[in-house]
Chain A
Amino acid sequence: MTAARPGVPEDGSNLALLPGPARDFHLFHSEEGPHLLLVDGSQLFKIDEALSDQLAATAASGGAAVRALLAEHGLGGKRFIGDEPLADPPLRALSLAVAERCNLGCTYCYAEGGSFGGAARNMPWEVAEASVRRLFAQVERDERVTLAFLGGEPLTNRPVIRRATELAVAIAGERGIPIGFSITTNGTLLTPDDAEFFERYRFAVTVSLDGIGAVHDRLRPTKGGRGSYDKVIANVRPLLARQRRMQVSARVTVTPANLGLRATLDHFIALGFHTVGFSPMLSAPTRRGEMQAPDLDVLLEEMIACGREFERRTLAGETYPFANMLTALEEIHRGTHRPYPCGAGAGYFGVSASGGLFACHRFVEDEAGSMGHVSEGVDRERQRRWLAQRMVDRQEPCRSCWARYLCGGGCHYEVIHRGRPACDYIRGWLDYALGAYVRLSAQRPDLLARTVPGGPRPAGAPVTADSNSSVP
């Protein structure tokens, strides 16, 4: 197996003979027996003890020996991830920072209170319009696009949201382009009218909620220091009741102060959120609320506990929309493999109030992620450099990590500003998720089909608001 493949350096970039733990595969044992994850292609196999032992023994001998052993068993013959960075990807998603201002003062906010460290302002209509047109500039019929509204708190600039949405719908309708809308809001300014609007245009609404009651209030106070929880819940209830075409999800930013995940998860699921997901706070401009190593250990425990509850409920046939779990299962099932963690700077960009294009919504007004302007489009040169630099196989310590194609390297913003403190957590979480996938697929593959959005759909099953698109 030493024949060179065209375009691949003799040693093969993702199978190079570097010292370190095995990077081509990940072995784990579960109740269903030993399993093998082939990193390239995220291929998951059930294997037997003999092969498991052999692989473990061979790992120390380096990539070539591992490759040879895999080849003997007909594994690893197909290459999924190449060596070249993504080239000139088409623009397909924009998030508009329609309001660089906010009425809350969350401790960890990447927008530093909403205004990104500058003067508070709204996005003028002209910029919004240009953004919408930019979104449709290079799209063909039937190719899907997404328009998101962020900030700050986007609902402080409601008119632009409404106008931009309606314009986008009009263009999409004309050109036969499916479009999806989303908005992330702190929930304090939601009105019933918003509910009706979001429902009409099938928005994916994400409400930021960090815990129950006081836990939330401590992290997400108003600028005056008062709690926001009750208001948010009161505002959100009507939306929860109303969601049919729209989805209303809760996003919990996890800091050392709100690690009691299970209670939060149960509570918000019970409230009726479509999904509830957790995001560890790894990089804050003020450094407040950032998770440290011991916090991350606790986080992993908590997440696994939530996962086990998910498994239990799922096997019982109940719905338990723990977002992180759903995503993980879907990606494992599909064998999702990616050399990047997300579409930031590739097909997705954040637009600042003045129309600047940035790698994503967190990079708005951040030079490190500057990518052009809506009026001229993406700066291809900068994009090329960005995409070349951000490939996971060119990152340390990613290139020697078995989880690299599932993780992608970590959020660019966090990595650039803080580094990679959470690798162990991510590996721990993925290892658990792989085991859960195996358990679920062995015990109730039918439930897996229902639960996993990307999973096989039984014929005739209705397409739910998961698909999140307003086909005109």
Chain B
Amino acid sequence: MTRPPKKPPASAGATVRDAKAVSRRAAAEELPTEKQERREDARAKALQLRQNKIFPRNLTARAAYLVPGNPVVTRPEDAVANCFPGLELDVRNLDRRFFPGLVFEFVDDGARLAYVDARQDPDLQVNAAEAQRVYKSLNIKPEKAQHLYDQLTGDEEAWLSEGRWYLEWIRQGRKTLSMGRGRDEPLDSYTIWRLIRSLEPAPVTISLRIESPRDTDNEQPARIELEGWRRRYTDEETGVINLAYQPGELMQGLCSPWQHDFRDCQCFYWAANHPDVVLGELYPGEALTPTENGSGSATQKGEQLRLTVPLDWIRADRSRALEAEALGTIADNRPYQLDAFRINSAWQDLSIVLEGREIGGLYVPQSIETANPFRSPSILEERLRKTLAPLELTLTFEYLYARFSLLTFDEAERKRVRGLAGAVMLARDRLMMIAISEMQHLRWANQMLWELYQHKLVPSYAPVLTLATEVPTSDTASMQLAPKTANTRAAKKARREAISNNVEKFIGIERSAHSPPSTMRSPELRRLGTKVVDDFIAVEHPSGFIDGAYARVAATLRQRPYPDHLAELALRIASDGVQHEARFLEIKAALAPFQEDQYLRAIRPGKAEAPGDIRHARELLKTIRDNLHTVYVLSAHNDIQSTGPHVAKARTAMTELLELGEKLAKDGIGLPFFGLWESLQ
């Protein structure tokens, strides 16, 4: 009945993995053959075992089937454990019992003894086999362990149970670590914890000191020295966690309940996932028009402000008045946020946020309904191909160039102007995010085009990777926002008035932007001066050119016979505009306190024909362009699988270009994106 064993089925995944393994081996140093063979054997065996399928049929089979090994979720090394406090296991809790018989708390002013717990401590049950194993492995004399036990169940226990005792110093081997007690600045709990963490499981002597002389009576010593050892937290042979730890102890202080962590997570795990600063809710039909003489009633003005004032999403004041505008830093905002008790129930009042704006019960998409759809697919296609897609590419280059024109964080620090480095870092970060977003839009615009082609709504598709000839702008004066440095009533009032003025201008823009703007400008690579920031704001702002144009695109795509999902892309682009504008406003506010020559480099666009680095940049741009071209073509033919290597090449080239651009900018040369790109055609 013997048959040759079946080979495992070849799958695409296996092929890729094998190929990678081969190339890795080729690239790496020569491994010893034996080791290689053993590894391959183990791998083959594991593969074989994984593929044997065993299916229990009857009841006893189902009851008795043992899943090999423990499920991964039960093993500490697979849990989400860290020291921060962690989601499943706070490793720091192990160190609370680093010394047998004692339990510490790491509090602000040091490592304080929480309580004595010697009688049940398995490490101190001198006669037990497990304890003797520990003593043997740590080279501890059982008499010493017995002595410690006697102390911690005798006089010392009584003394340590009265008053507040702190860890004063630790000695292991030849080193004594002082916790700094009794001096002006005792070590803080984090530092102490780190020191304890660095102890070896080996004999250790500690000294405990009572907090204040008043806490002692005549009989009680002010200091107690104990000789012991640093506990082994897990059993050497079995890996079982030391039995001194009580159920639940290792999970103290976790990120729970989640509502608290939502607000307080110090690694911003949650904060990265929930809305941070948002615009307030708009009720449908709310009046936006100002009164004739430009001042209206306080209520009307209040409503108008709702359009633009950024709010803290976790603010405690949920009323529609505007005292709760978002301030510049986390610490500033904290007093106005939902507190730890309220958030447990009030989290349900937090709003859903769409398109950067809070939504209450009713969500009414604004711009789409008023936008006119294009008459036909070919007109839509032309708009995308000739105007919108090229605009994305052009703006990408403008933004990247502007970014190169800024100092880096390190350069700004060296100038020793207070706050400059932070402002510059923010501006660079925001510009990169926006530039990436524009690149995304370029792809989406192309995607809309190729999908139109795939759905036979237009006769052909060719990738659009061309530059625009003009960029929309507006003729408003720049919006002036007062820097948010003060929280006094007067400052707040001044800010409100400034905002109110801006809002009226904004309304004006809004009204005028419903018809195509008459103002366009030429694309230009410029440094990030204030005027340039204003231009960027103008390009991005809601109901402006781009937003309006994509609103029309989305309105078109919502109709038959266009495929459903494409409208979403257009909507995304439109709503991203709100975010971009907000970011540019942030940049503006951040840079406002400084002079241009403080944060700008003196760069000029280089010559596109220049040799050396510029030539190299041209090659990189060519790589990018050619690979993107291929990716778009492949995608248009539904061959997404093959796009991988091309995307990788383009990405590598982009990274290199970024470094190169930075290098050139340091030397005062700005990458001449437009010239280089055009020379590629």
Residues of A within 8 A of B (CB): 35, 38, 41-51, 53, 56-57, 72-75, 77-78, 80, 332-335, 337, 437-438, 441
Contact B65 A80, beta carbon cutoff 8 Å: no
- Counting CB contacts under 8 A, is B11 at the interface? no
Contact B2 A56, beta carbon cutoff 8 Å: yes
Contacts of B52 in A (CB 8 A): 47-48, 50-51, 73
Of A35, A45, A73, A78, which is within 8 A of B49 by CB? Answer: A73
Contact A35 B64, beta carbon cutoff 8 Å: no
Contacts of A74 in B (CB 8 A): 54, 65-68
Contact B1 A45, beta carbon cutoff 8 Å: no
Contact A41 B2, beta carbon cutoff 8 Å: no
**Roughly how many angstroms separate A38 CA and B53 CA in the complex, as a whole number?**
16
- Counting CB contacts under 8 A, is B60 at the interface? yes
Of B3, B49, B56, B68, which is within 8 A of A44 by CB? Answer: B56
Given the known A-B contacts A53-B1, A74-B65, are A44 and B53 also in contact in the complex, defined by CB atoms under 8 Å? no
Cβ contacts B253-271/A at 8 Å (1 or 0 each): 0000000000000000000
- Counting CB contacts under 8 A, is B57 at the interface? yes
Contact B66 A44, beta carbon cutoff 8 Å: no
Known: A42-B60, A47-B55, A74-B66. 20 other contacts (CB 8 A): A38-B61, A43-B60, A45-B56, A46-B53, A46-B55, A46-B57, A48-B51, A53-B1, A72-B49, A73-B49, A73-B52, A74-B54, A74-B65, A74-B67, A75-B65, A78-B64, A78-B66, A80-B64, A334-B58, A335-B59
Distance from A33 Cβ to chain B, minimum over Cβ atoms (Å) = 9
- Counting CB contacts under 8 A, is B6 at the interface? yes
Contact B60 A335, beta carbon cutoff 8 Å: yes
**Roughly how many angstroms separate A366 CA and B405 CA in the complex, as a whole number?**
110
Distance from B601 Cβ to chain A, minimum over Cβ atoms (Å) = 65
Contact A77 B56, beta carbon cutoff 8 Å: no
- Total interface residues on B, using CB and 8 Å? 24
Of B57, B59, B60, B63, which is within 8 A of A438 by CB? Answer: B57
Q: Which among B2, B55, B63 has the greatest number of chain A C-beta atoms within 10 A?
A: B55
Query: Can you list 11 A-B pairs, Cβ within 8 angstroms, ordered by A?
Result: A38-B61, A44-B56, A44-B57, A45-B56, A46-B57, A50-B6, A51-B52, A51-B54, A56-B2, A57-B2, A80-B64
Of B3, B48, B53, B60, which is within 8 A of A80 by CB? Answer: B60
**Roughly how many angstroms separate A136 CA and B48 CA in the complex, as a whole number?**
58
Contact A53 B3, beta carbon cutoff 8 Å: yes
- Counting CB contacts under 8 A, is B182 at the interface? no
Distance from B283 Cβ to chain A, minimum over Cβ atoms (Å) = 50
Distance from B50 Cβ to chain A, minimum over Cβ atoms (Å) = 11
Contact B48 A50, beta carbon cutoff 8 Å: yes
Contact B61 A335, beta carbon cutoff 8 Å: yes
Q: Which among B1, B54, B56, B58 has the greatest number of chain A C-beta atoms within 10 A?
A: B58
**Roughly how many angstroms separate A281 CA and B49 CA in the complex, as a whole number?**
48
Q: Which among B60, B63, B65 has the greatest number of chain A C-beta atoms within 10 A?
A: B60
Contacts of A38 in B (CB 8 A): 61
- Counting CB contacts under 8 A, is B5 at the interface? yes
In the complex formed, the residue of A with least CB distance to B55 is A46
Contacts of A333 in B (CB 8 A): 58-59
Residues of B within 8 A of A (CB): 1-3, 5-6, 48-49, 51-61, 63-68
Distance from B1 Cβ to chain A, minimum over Cβ atoms (Å) = 5
Distance from B45 Cβ to chain A, minimum over Cβ atoms (Å) = 9
**Roughly how many angstroms separate A72 CA and B68 CA in the complex, as a whole number?**
8
Contact A73 B54, beta carbon cutoff 8 Å: yes
Given the known A-B contacts A50-B48, A53-B1, A73-B52, are A441 and B57 also in contact in the complex, defined by CB atoms under 8 Å? yes
Contacts of A50 in B (CB 8 A): 5-6, 48, 51-52
Q: Which among B48, B53, B64, B68 has the greatest number of chain A C-beta atoms within 10 A?
A: B64
**Roughly how many angstroms separate A47 CA and B68 CA in the complex, as a whole number?**
16
In the complex formed, the residue of A with least CB distance to B3 is A53
**Roughly how many angstroms separate A50 CA and B49 CA in the complex, as a whole number?**
10
Contact B60 A41, beta carbon cutoff 8 Å: yes
**Roughly how many angstroms separate A332 CA and B58 CA in the complex, as a whole number?**
7
**5 pairs of A and B residues whose beta carbons are closest in the complex:** A335-B60, A43-B61, A46-B55, A44-B57, A78-B64
Contact B6 A46, beta carbon cutoff 8 Å: no
Contact A53 B5, beta carbon cutoff 8 Å: yes
Contacts of A46 in B (CB 8 A): 53-55, 57
Contacts of A72 in B (CB 8 A): 49
**Roughly how many angstroms separate A398 CA and B49 CA in the complex, as a whole number?**
33
**Roughly how many angstroms separate A72 CA and B50 CA in the complex, as a whole number?**
11
Q: Which among A56, A57, A78, A335 has the greatest number of chain B C-beta atoms within 10 A?
A: A335
Contacts of B6 in A (CB 8 A): 49-50
Contact B54 A75, beta carbon cutoff 8 Å: yes
**Roughly how many angstroms separate A57 CA and B48 CA in the complex, as a whole number?**
17
Q: Which among A53, A438, A441 has the greatest number of chain B C-beta atoms within 10 A?
A: A53
Distance from A399 Cβ to chain B, minimum over Cβ atoms (Å) = 21
Contacts of B66 in A (CB 8 A): 74-75, 77-78
Contact A41 B54, beta carbon cutoff 8 Å: no
Distance from B64 Cβ to chain A, minimum over Cβ atoms (Å) = 4
**Roughly how many angstroms separate A53 CA and B48 CA in the complex, as a whole number?**
13
**Roughly how many angstroms separate A56 CA and B5 CA in the complex, as a whole number?**
13
Contact B57 A45, beta carbon cutoff 8 Å: yes
Contacts of A80 in B (CB 8 A): 60, 64
Distance from B4 Cβ to chain A, minimum over Cβ atoms (Å) = 9
Distance from B577 Cβ to chain A, minimum over Cβ atoms (Å) = 57
Contacts of A441 in B (CB 8 A): 57
**Roughly how many angstroms separate A437 CA and B58 CA in the complex, as a whole number?**
9
In the complex formed, the residue of B with least CB distance to A78 is B64
Contacts of B59 in A (CB 8 A): 333-335
**Roughly how many angstroms separate A118 CA and B277 CA in the complex, as a whole number?**
102
In the complex formed, the residue of A with least CB distance to B67 is A74
Contacts of A45 in B (CB 8 A): 54-57, 61, 65
Contact B57 A35, beta carbon cutoff 8 Å: yes
**Roughly how many angstroms separate A77 CA and B53 CA in the complex, as a whole number?**
17
**Roughly how many angstroms separate A205 CA and B200 CA in the complex, as a whole number?**
78
In the complex formed, the residue of A with least CB distance to B61 is A43
Contact A44 B1, beta carbon cutoff 8 Å: no
**Roughly how many angstroms separate A184 CA and B54 CA in the complex, as a whole number?**
44
**Roughly how many angstroms separate A422 CA and B486 CA in the complex, as a whole number?**
100
Q: Which among A42, A45, A51 has the greatest number of chain B C-beta atoms within 10 A?
A: A45
In the complex formed, the residue of A with least CB distance to B48 is A50
Contacts of B55 in A (CB 8 A): 45-47
Distance from A14 Cβ to chain B, minimum over Cβ atoms (Å) = 15
Distance from B634 Cβ to chain A, minimum over Cβ atoms (Å) = 39
**Roughly how many angstroms separate A128 CA and B65 CA in the complex, as a whole number?**
48
**Roughly how many angstroms separate A80 CA and B53 CA in the complex, as a whole number?**
23
Given the known A-B contacts A56-B2, A78-B64, are A43 and B49 also in contact in the complex, defined by CB atoms under 8 Å? no
Contact B3 A43, beta carbon cutoff 8 Å: no
Contact B1 A337, beta carbon cutoff 8 Å: no
Distance from B141 Cβ to chain A, minimum over Cβ atoms (Å) = 34
**Roughly how many angstroms separate A41 CA and B60 CA in the complex, as a whole number?**
6
Contact A337 B60, beta carbon cutoff 8 Å: yes
In the complex formed, the residue of B with least CB distance to A441 is B57
**Roughly how many angstroms separate A33 CA and B1 CA in the complex, as a whole number?**
15
Contacts of B49 in A (CB 8 A): 72-73
**Roughly how many angstroms separate A47 CA and B52 CA in the complex, as a whole number?**
7
Contacts of A438 in B (CB 8 A): 57
Contact A56 B57, beta carbon cutoff 8 Å: no
In the complex formed, the residue of A with least CB distance to B69 is A74
Distance from A55 Cβ to chain B, minimum over Cβ atoms (Å) = 10
Contacts of A51 in B (CB 8 A): 52, 54
In the complex formed, the residue of B with least CB distance to A47 is B54
**Roughly how many angstroms separate A35 CA and B55 CA in the complex, as a whole number?**
9
Contact B60 A56, beta carbon cutoff 8 Å: no
**Roughly how many angstroms separate A316 CA and B580 CA in the complex, as a whole number?**
68
**Roughly how many angstroms separate A448 CA and B289 CA in the complex, as a whole number?**
74
Contacts of A75 in B (CB 8 A): 54, 65-66
Contacts of A73 in B (CB 8 A): 49, 52, 54, 68
Contacts of A41 in B (CB 8 A): 60-61, 64
**Roughly how many angstroms separate A45 CA and B6 CA in the complex, as a whole number?**
20
**Roughly how many angstroms separate A323 CA and B67 CA in the complex, as a whole number?**
36
Contacts of B5 in A (CB 8 A): 50, 53
